[in-house]
Amino acid sequence: MAKFPKDFIWGVSTSAYQIEGGWLEGGKGLSTWDVFTHTPGKILNEDKADVACDHYHLYEEDIILLKNLGVKAYRFSIAWARIMPTGYGEINKEGIEFYSKLIDLLIENNIEPWVTLHHWDLPSALELEKDGWLNPAIADYFAEYAKICFEAFGDRVKNWITLNEPWVISVLGYSVGIFTPGRVSTTEPYIAGHNLLRAHGKAAKVYREQFKAIQKGRICVANNCDWREPKTELAEDKAAAERSLEFLLGWFADPLFKGHYPESMVEKLGDRLPKFTEEDIANIKGSCDIFGLNHYSTMYAQNIPETTTNADLHAIGGLHGDDEVLLTADENWKKTTMDWNVIPWGFGKLLKWIDNRYDHPEIYVTENGMSCNDIVVNEKVNDTDRIDFLHSYLAELSRVIESGVKVKGYFVWSLMDNFEWASGYSKRFGLYYVDFNTLERIPKESAKWYKEIILKNEI
């Protein structure tokens, strides 16, 4: 048994597009994900999130679920197109009112709102008219939107996450093309990534200069990172694992915490990696009050020859070859239904790597969780695999905290089953089971288990 620190923040996470529905309601504009899911061939089973969990109508019920879990914090995202239907210009009052009511109700129930400003659902007009994240001007549109949110909600919201997983937006959206805007390019991922950092920087500057002194909140990015374990003891494989982490997390966290891209990226990418202006650096460097981490899995890493093309890499099961690293898994490792490896020690190693590389930041695990084959039997979902997963990852987390790494909070992905992007409704991550026909929510065994952990504050 290990105790967690007294003020440890226990939470759960969701995102707007994955749970809200109400895609044409309340004055909302279309987002890129609305358009993408309505494009044949993009999503498994042609699933769409027009209704999703219908949280837009059922949010009061969902706050009761949160209350029943006993979480101290709830991380959700704001749909930019609900606040600004085209992403710029006109403000939609109904959208502001929706989130305002949600925030008030959370606070009434003693649940801290943790708000993500952008969890991938870019207003479609910004994509169509302005080239989305490829256009440097997006940073100003984002800062304007962020300012409206700070103004409307910042009296009550004290924890802001500007962006969710800029790596996923850049790589899955602009290199692999399985997420919006569905592009396949060797240069665009780095332009999009660059503009995502610039957008965060400008929004953070607005917060720092115009709101922070009065509102006294904190701001950060939620970056995703899995652990990379060297496949062998060979120096070249150890270097490959390090390089893989740099291309995954360092790409975004190095500029945010150190003010420049990792050397390995500068070297390997040459002219494909854009350069920051002095103004960019002033906005970006040191702009995060805390370190947000979404963590799911671990892979082995080994060096591959520089001559390997992306096509070669895809043929051997790789994703994105610019780091010249081959990722593999041990066939004995336990896997989730996403095919992600369950390796709790990788979580611990990653947290120590972050602590060391970024000079001991306060870390919040803004997402961690497992997709399982959940089924309802006699009104129960006996998700023992998920309980084992959460137990082992939290036990690892408590050891890491014990060793001095400053992890201050943990959010399970996710409160309830929801729309899992390109996988549609085929993957279930929730502590609550959602029947997508009746929209009924049923607590899984893991929900009861998590509630106990929160109550005892120990694992």
* Beta-sheet pairing, 325-328 with 298-303: antiparallel
Active site residue 165: yes
Show Cβ contacts of residue 23 under 8 Å, excluding neighbours closer than 6 positions.
30, 34, 49, 50, 51
By CB under 6 A, how many residues form the interface with ligand PNW?
A: 12
Q: What is the C-alpha separation between 286 and 143, in angstroms, rounded?
A: 17
Nearest to ligand PNW of 64, 168 (CB atom) = 168
- Rounded to a whole number of angstroms, the minimum distance from the CB of residue 341 to ligand PNW is 12
- How far apart (Å, rounded) are the C-alpha atoms in residues 361 and 380? 40
Tell me the CA distances in angstroms from 395 to 11, 211, 379, one per residue in order.
Answer: 17, 38, 29
Write down the catalytic residue from 165, 242, 324, 396. Answer: 165
Catalytic residue check, 367: yes
Which of 62, 112, 165, 237 is close enough to bind ligand PNW by CB under 6 A? 165
x/- mask, ligand PNW, residues 248-267, rule CB under 6 A, reads --------------------
Q: Is 164 in the site for ligand PNW (CB under 6 A)?
A: yes
Residues 417-456 that bind ligand PNW (CB under 6 A): 420, 429
Options 34, 322, 367, 396; binder of ligand PNW; rule CB under 6 A: 367
* Nearest-approach distance from CB 362 to ligand PNW, in angstroms: 20
Stretch that binds ligand PNW, among 129-137, 161-169, 278-286, 303-311 (CB under 6 A): 161-169
Q: Among all residues, whose Cβ is closest to ligand PNW? A: 224
Structure tokens at 109: 């129930």
Query: Which CB atom, from 135 or from 353, has the smaller least distance to ligand PNW?
Result: 353
Binding flag, residue 247, ligand PNW (CB under 6 A)? no
Of the candidates 33, 88, 207, 413, which one interacts with ligand PNW according to CB under 6 A? Answer: 413
Per CB under 6 A, 168 contacts ligand PNW: yes
* The only residue of 224, 244, 264, 303 in contact with ligand PNW, by rule CB under 6 A: 224
d(CA 53, CA 171): 27
Element (H, E) at 10: strand 9-13
Alpha-carbon span 227 to 235, nearest angstrom: 18
How many Å apart are CA 50 and CA 47, to the nearest integer? 9
Hey, what are 176's tokens?
């692999």
Q: Report how far apart, in Å, the C-alpha atoms of 340 and of each of 47, 150, 330, 381, 442 are.
A: 22, 36, 11, 21, 25
The beta strand positions in 216-362, using DSSP E, are 218-224, 227-230, 291-294, 298-303, 325-328
Q: Which is nearer to ligand PNW, 126 or 422 (CB)?
A: 422
Of 294, 298, 302, 341, the one binding ligand PNW by CB under 6 A: 294
Residue 36 sits in the site that holds ligand PNW (CB under 6 A):
no
Active site (catalytic) residues: 165, 367
Residues that bind ligand PNW (CB under 6 A): 15, 18, 164-165, 168, 224, 294, 296, 367, 413, 420, 429
